[in-house]
Amino acid sequence: MIYRENGQFKTTYAADQQIFTIAQDKVFVLGVIAFAFIGIPLLADEYMFRAILIPFLILSLAALGVNLLVGYCGQITLGAGAFMAIGAYAAYNFMIRIDGMPLIFGLLLGGLASAGMGILFWIPSLRVRGLYLAVATLAAQFFCDWAFLRLGWFTNYSSSGSVSISNLSVFGWGIDSPLEKYLFCLCFIVVFAFVAKNLTRASIGRQWMAIRDMDVAAEVIGIRPMWAKLSAFAVSSFFVGVAGALWGFVHLGSWEPAAFSVDRSFQLLFMVIIGGMGSILGSFFGAAFIVVLPIFLNQVLPALGHLFGIEISTAGISHAELIIFGSLIVFFLIVEPHGLARLWSIAKEKLRLWPFPH
C-alpha cells in the first residue's frame, strides 16, 4: 500500500536511469545514510564503535568487493584475505616510504597495488573455472601469508614481524577517537557502495553477469571473457585492498600477517553467500551477520550457562561457539540459499500488497 511504484511516471531518460527508480527506495536509502551519519554517532558508545560498527563497515566493504567477483562475475575466490593483506601492506609501505603521503591517497594506492597483484595472480586462473579456480586462489592466500611473514622488506624489517601506523590525519583532521574512525570509514563505504552499485548497472557489470550466467554464450554474443574476468578481478581486488588497508590502519592500528589469514577469506565468502550473491545490500547484511554473531554468542553463552547453573569453561565456550556458528551457517544455507538479501526482497513484495491479502 505504502510501498508501490504506481503513479511514479518517468518522463525523461535521465529519470528512467536513476539508481533508485522508486521514490520510496530513494527516501529509504537517504534515510539510512543520514541515520548512519547523524543518528548513530549520537546513540552508540565507544564499545559499539570499536567492537561492532567499525569492523562491520570495513568488512562490508571487503564483502562488497568479493561479491562483485563471486556474485556478479561468478568466479569463486578463497583468496580474498590475501588481497586485504596486499592492500594493507602496500598502503603501509606507501605511507612510511614516501614523506607526507596523504592518508586517503595511501589507502587508494594500497587498493591499486592490490588490483595490480590481483590481475597478476588471476592470469593463470583464466583457463581454470569453478571449484578448481577456488582452490587455485588459495595459492595467492598462502603465498601472501608467507611473503609478509618472511620477506622483511614488506614490514620495513620490523623485529617483531608486526607493523603499526599511528597519527592518522586527513587535511589536518586527526582521526583518533572511535567516532572519528567510524565517520572516516563510513565516508569510504558510502562512496564505494555507490560506485559498486553503478558499476553493476553499467555495461561492465552486465558483461560480468553475462559471463557468470554462461560464459560460452557470452563469448558468442561478443563479450570478451578475458577482459570481463580480468576487470572483475581488478575491481574486486581494489575494493578488497582498500578494505584491507582500512582494516589495518583504522581498526587494528598494528597488525601481523595472521590478521589476513585464510580464515578471513572464508569469512568474507561466508558474508557474500549468507548475505546474498549478486546483491549490494546483501554484502552489508552478510557482514553484519558474521560480525555480530560471534560477539552475541560470546555474551549470551556464559549467561545462558549461568542461568542453568552450569559453569562453562572458556574452552567449552569457544567450542560451543564453533558448533553454533557452523550449524547456523548450514541452517541459513538450507532455509534461504539465496541469502538474507532474498528475505529483504520478499519483504518488499509483501509490503507492496500490505495491508490487503491479494
Position 287 contacts another protein (CB under 8 A): no
Peptide bond preceding 355 in cis form (omega within 30 of 0): yes
Position 41 contacts another protein (CB under 8 A): no
Q: Which member of 258, 266, 343, 351 binds another protein (CB under 8 A)?
A: 266
Q: Find the helix packing angle between 280-307 and 262-275, rounded to 10°.
A: 110
| Shorter beta-carbon distance to another protein: residue 40 or 147 | 147
Which cell is 85 given? 593483506
Position 128 contacts another protein (CB under 8 A): yes
Stretch that binds another protein, among 98-106, 188-196, 211-219, 279-287 (CB under 8 A): 211-219
Give Cα 49 distance to the centre of its chain: 18
Q: What is the DSSP letter of 312?
A: -
CB atoms within 10 A of CB 132: 12
Contacts of 150 (CB under 8 A, 6+ apart): none
Stretch that binds another protein, among 53-61, 84-92, 245-253, 325-333 (CB under 8 A): 325-333
Interaction mask 136-175, another protein, x per CB under 8 A: x-xx--xx-xx--xxx------------------------
Residue 134, CB half-sphere, CA atoms under 13 Å: how many?
A: 9
| Shorter beta-carbon distance to another protein: residue 102 or 124 | 124
CB atoms within 10 A of CB 25: 15
Cell 570495513 belongs to which residue?
58
| Shorter beta-carbon distance to another protein: residue 57 or 86 | 86
Q: Which member of 119, 202, 322, 353 binds another protein (CB under 8 A)?
A: 322
Cell 532474498 belongs to which residue?
342
Q: What are residue 260's phi and psi, to 5 degrees?
A: -120, 45
Q: Which member of 270, 284, 285, 289 binds another protein (CB under 8 A)?
A: 270
Site of interaction with another protein (CB under 8 A): 70, 76, 124-125, 127-132, 134-136, 138-139, 142-143, 145-146, 149-151, 214-217, 220, 262, 266, 269-270, 273, 277, 315-316, 319-323, 325-330, 333-334, 337
